[in-house]
Structure 1
Amino acid sequence: MHVAKNKEMSLVFANKTQEVAKLTGLDEEVEKEQKELQVENTRLMDENSRVMEENSALRISVEHKESNLPVEVVASAK
């Protein structure tokens, strides 16, 4: 009786050990993917900042050019 129970418990323990190993592997995959996403997010934030700076510079350039145009031309463009 005890031998059968010990074998059963041994199988349960082995199964649970495999489950833990599988979950640990999944955790490592998730951590790796999370780090990759953080790198991509940083790159996109940097690119967004650069584009916003370019947009601001273009806006200033357009405003400067508009200030040198006659008032009638600026009004008709809007």
Structure 2
Amino acid sequence: MNSSSAFSETHSALLPAPATLQTEMVVGQVFRQDVLGDISKGWNHFVESGQIWAALIGIVVGYMLKSITSSH
């Protein structure tokens, strides 16, 4: 008996028999989610926390660095 067959025989005893496996099917779920409301809340937080200014400054500085370092 080689080592690979000994491995498979040893570990196959640890697996449940196929007859004991049970499957369940979820027929339907109801999600009450307001996608546009979530986007609006996220945008408002982005603006109120000042992250929009950091993003705009990063875009401007990145564009300036790109134009300085690129060769024409």
Name the larger-Rg structure.
1
The structure with more helix, counted as a fraction of residues: 1
Higher normalized contact order (CA 8 Å, seq sep 6+, divided by chain length): 1
Under a length normalisation based on structure 1, what TM-score does the superposition of the two structures give? Answer: 0.31
Under a length normalisation based on structure 2, what TM-score does the superposition of the two structures give? Answer: 0.33
